[in-house]
Amino acid sequence: MIEALIGFGVIFALALLRVPLAFAMGAVGYVGLGLLRGWDASAASAAQVVYDTGFAYTLSVVPLFILMGNFVARAGLANELFRAAFTFIGHVRGGLAHATIIACAGFGAICGSSIATAATMSKVAFPSMRRHGYADYLSTGVIAAGGTLGIMIPPSTIMVIYGIVTETNIGKLFAAGVLPGLLCALMMMVGVSWITWRDPSAGPAAERSTWKERFSALRDIWGVALLVVVVLGGIYGGIFTATEGAGIGASGAFFFAWARGSLSWKVLYEVLVESTRTTAMLFTILIAATIFSSFVNFTTMPGDLKDWILHLGLSPLMVVGAMMLIYVLLGTIMEELSMVLLTIPVFFPIVTGLGFDPVWFGVLIVLVVQIGLISPPVGMNLFVLNALLKEVSLPQIFRGVWLFVAMLVLALVLCLEFQWLSLWLPSFMP
């Protein structure tokens, strides 16, 4: 127990000294295992982890989904999504903000990244909201929050990584994210209504569209719809595995981007290189976290903690609730993926030991990551908007996002209480 606690302490100290988190985790895992089991064993184990993570067919799901998202972002499909949502709901108070959330949800169904979703939407939705006289704090708040739908609504990079490290079925995780994703979108729309009710000038109604315009806008989103049906339908229907689905999705997105003329050779190359960079960054963390968790698993900490918590006789839901509280607090200052990978070796055995479904816990993990991504002071989505929308100040962005943080926390509580929200859809899968 003590060894593992020291390990965690050293990682945090190194991180504060600005050592990249992956290197801190890897080094602590390596040295820790070396001290416990001997240096030869530690070296052999580290080399094996690097080898296994490098040569893994199923892990090709990660770069392929990233590639799909990046192609889709370049293809400009987000414009059509936003326009379609706008024609239906733009004329109500706060309608453009509602439309942004709907478009984010739609975009999230073809893109597995929160940052990419927020960045894409900031280019599509923000200018439109500004033109219609929306308050900047509402526009940025809604884009930052809507972006997080990218990781809850499948496909989702975070779910893929959670599935890999915990050996949970990725297809089931994807199915589990659908209802909570819609719930999050709904909660965000409630948030928008609340803001525009309190301050009607923040989101004035736009012009009403005719039914002709609505149908024409709907026709334009067939590309998105087709990709969603083929990729996610294929995975749910058991026609292909998540890895195969990712390959089909990436190719489909490539063809769309190409057919729409948005892929010059230069852009294609950029998209590919960018996707490999994101992949390499994620795999560094993945490899380091695996080395670290083989150290943690060799200590008595996971077992001790599990025994201790089971012994306390707390209600199981309270235990998970306490974990979520820790995550939400840590998520305000820590990078979310590292936070999850660092804690999984300790938390996951407790959760399964209490008899909970790993798929449900996966959904909760995604929700805390969503919350972490938009909670000040260190929320990646907020930084994305701050970098892309130079005309809005960071305090304005912070101001607009609090209500949405609260809404997502409410969604987290609902998903915690009502497990069927996550588990009903996967129950139909073979």
Partner 1 sequence: MTLRKFIEACCSLLAAVALFAIMWLTLFDVSGRKLLSESIPGSLELTELLMVVVIFAGLPLVSLRGEHVVFDSLDPFVPAGLMRGLRALIDGLCALALGWIGWLMWVKGSQMLEYGDKTQQLGLTLGYFVHLMSVLLFVVAAVHLLLMLAPTAHHHPGVDDGASA
Site for partner 1 in 376-415 (CB under 8 A): 377-378, 380, 383-384, 387-388
DSSP 352: H
Binding mask 308-347 for partner 1 (x = CB under 8 A): -------------------------xxx-xx---------
- In the complex, the smallest distance separating the C-beta of residue 115 from partner 1, rounded to whole angstroms, is 4
Read off φ and ψ for residue 27, nearest 5 degrees: -65, -45
- Quickly count: other Cβ atoms within 10 Å of residue 393's Cβ: 14
Stretch touching partner 1 by CB under 8 A, among 55-63, 89-97, 179-187, 420-428: 55-63
- Tell whether residue 283 is a contact of partner 1 (CB under 8 A): yes
Q: Which is nearer to partner 1, 1 or 280 (CB)?
A: 280
Interface of this chain with partner 1, residues 164 to 203, rule: CB under 8 A: none
H/E stretch holding 22? helix 21-37
- Tell whether residue 75 is a contact of partner 1 (CB under 8 A): no
> 393 Cβ partners below 8 Å, 6+ apart?
none
Residue 90 near residue 119 (C-beta atoms within 8 A) = no
The pair of three-digit structure tokens given for residue 280, joined into one six-digit string: 């390499």
Q: Which is nearer to partner 1, 124 or 228 (CB)?
A: 124
DSSP 230: I
Q: Which is nearer to partner 1, 21 or 135 (CB)?
A: 21
Stretch touching partner 1 by CB under 8 A, among 2-10, 185-193, 269-277, 359-367: 269-277
Residues in the chain: 430
The pair of three-digit structure tokens given for residue 215, joined into one six-digit string: 């149908």
- Tell whether residue 16 is a contact of partner 1 (CB under 8 A): yes
Stretch touching partner 1 by CB under 8 A, among 53-61, 159-167, 198-206, 217-225: 53-61
Q: Which is nearer to partner 1, 193 or 251 (CB)?
A: 251
Q: Which is nearer to partner 1, 92 or 378 (CB)?
A: 378
Residue 46 near residue 38 (C-beta atoms within 8 A) = no
The pair of three-digit structure tokens given for residue 257, joined into one six-digit string: 């981007």
- Of the candidate residues 215, 277, 303, 427, the single one contacting partner 1 (CB under 8 A): 277
Q: Please state, in angstroms and rounded to a whole number, the distance separating the CA atoms of residues 264 and 113.
A: 23
- Of the candidate residues 26, 106, 180, 400, the single one contacting partner 1 (CB under 8 A): 26
The pair of three-digit structure tokens given for residue 8, joined into one six-digit string: 């965690």
Interface of this chain with partner 1, residues 112 to 141, rule: CB under 8 A: 113, 115-116, 119-120, 122-123
| CA distances to 96, 101, 138, 231 from 194, in Å | 14, 15, 11, 36
- Tell whether residue 236 is a contact of partner 1 (CB under 8 A): no
